[in-house]
């Protein structure tokens, strides 16, 4: 029985370093990511050991970004010493499996600052329009 290439080959060197990372699928301007376990090498186009989740960054009609994890297998690979890439660590932190990544806090802070600036600009425009109409 052969496996579908997206689910992985299951073959790997026992003593090589592993990493849990994104693999980009999808079309141009429509990314879709598989969260996979691979050997940690510079060769980007190497076989996947196992697929442990998916991530769809484009919001759907309900304004949701869909994510699915196999927590049991992720915990197994982390316990086996697998490294985690920064984007996957962010996602796992938001999901509650890991501590929240510092980059998540910084992104939220920047978005809050931008929102405050936009609110100030809109308020200034409204007061300017109100004073001009009077």
Q: Give whole-number Cα distances, 42 to 19, 38, 39, 85, 134, in Å.
A: 12, 11, 9, 14, 66
State what percent of residues in the chain have pLDDT above 90: 64
Locate 73 and state its tokens: 């297998």
40-99 confidence digits (pLDDT tens): 877 767 788 999 999 999 999 999 999 999 999 999 999 999 999 999 999 999 999 999
Can you give the pTM of this predicted structure? 0.76
Tell which wins on pLDDT, 3 or 79.
79
Locate 104 and state its tokens: 């998540």
Average pLDDT value for the chain: 88
Locate 132 and state its tokens: 């001009």
Which pLDDT score, from 0 to 100, does residue 15 have? 77
């Amino acid at each position: 029985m052969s496996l579908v290439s997206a689910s992985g080959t299951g073959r790997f060197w026992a003593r090589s370093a592993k990493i849990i990372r994104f693999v980009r699928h999808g079309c141009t301007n429509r990314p879709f990511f598989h969260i996979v376990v691979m050997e940690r090498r510079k060769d980007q186009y190497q076989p996947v050991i196992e697929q442990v989740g998916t991530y769809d960054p484009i919001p759907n009609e309900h304004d949701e970004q869909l994510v699915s994890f196999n927590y049991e297998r992720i915990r197994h690979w982390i316990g086996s010493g697998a490294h985690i890439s920064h984007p996957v660590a962010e996602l796992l932190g938001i999901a509650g499996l890991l501590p929240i990544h510092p980059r998540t806090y910084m992104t939220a802070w920047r978005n809050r600052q931008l929102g405050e600036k936009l609110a100030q600009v809109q308020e200034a425009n409204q007061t300017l329009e109100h004073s001009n109409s009077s």
